[in-house]
Amino acid sequence: MDLDKMDKDGLRTYVDYMLRILRLCDAFWYIFVEEEQGSETADHFNERVWHRVSSISARDIREMFKIAEKGLEGFEKALRYFPWCIIVGYEFERRPDELIISVRECPTQKARIVRNLGEYACKEMHRGEFVNFAREIDPGIVVECLHAPLDPHPPERICQWRFTMDTGAVER
């Protein structure tokens, strides 16, 4: 296979396939560790992996796509390239001094519910993921979870996050 010779539709199909495989690898990795070692161990390693991968991703995205902006503008621009943004379908709402990210339907949570596994307590994993991603873009970005499983949430949304700038931060 030669990616350089693929047309736009072929490349899109292949990217969609790669994102699906990434999601499945992540899901089965977690499920198998949880089955053999328990939820606490699976959560521990899942958090470690995604906290690390998010900072690497942010750095790579910033370099590959020449994102020079700092603050919420640079964060949003970079996060839109993050594979999980595409897989999950983050919804961005930009306000003057904040960015809100909402997730209506999470493939991971949907799959767990269908299999009667209950929601996965993903808040701390995502908090670290967002904090580490944001830190690579601008250390002054503040991450706040408005709600994420296992928090109660409205039926139309699984989680919501708020990003602001630390007003006490030193000039960047």
For the chain, report the end-to-end CA distance as a whole number of angstroms.
45
Alpha-carbon radius of gyration of the chain: 17
pLDDT 10s digits, 4-19? 888 999 999 999 999 9
Taking residue 113's Cβ as centre, other Cβ atoms within 10 Å add up to 13
Indicate whether this model's pTM tops 0.85.
Answer: yes
Which residues, 6 or more positions from 78, have their beta carbon under 8 angstroms from its beta carbon? 58, 61, 62, 65, 67, 133, 137
pLDDT grade, residue 107 (50/70/90)? Answer: confident
Q: What token pair was written down for 107?
A: 């493939």
pLDDT of residue 169: 53
Domain residue extents for the chain: 7-165
Residue-wise pLDDT for 50-93, tens only, equals 999 999 999 999 999 999 999 999 999 999 999 999 999 999 99
- Which architecture does CATH list for 7-165? 2-Layer Sandwich (3.30)
Rounded CA-CA distance 14/57 in Å is 20
As a whole number of angstroms, the distance between CA 119 and CA 131 comes to 22
Report residue 146's pLDDT band, with 50, 70 and 90 as the boundaries.
very high
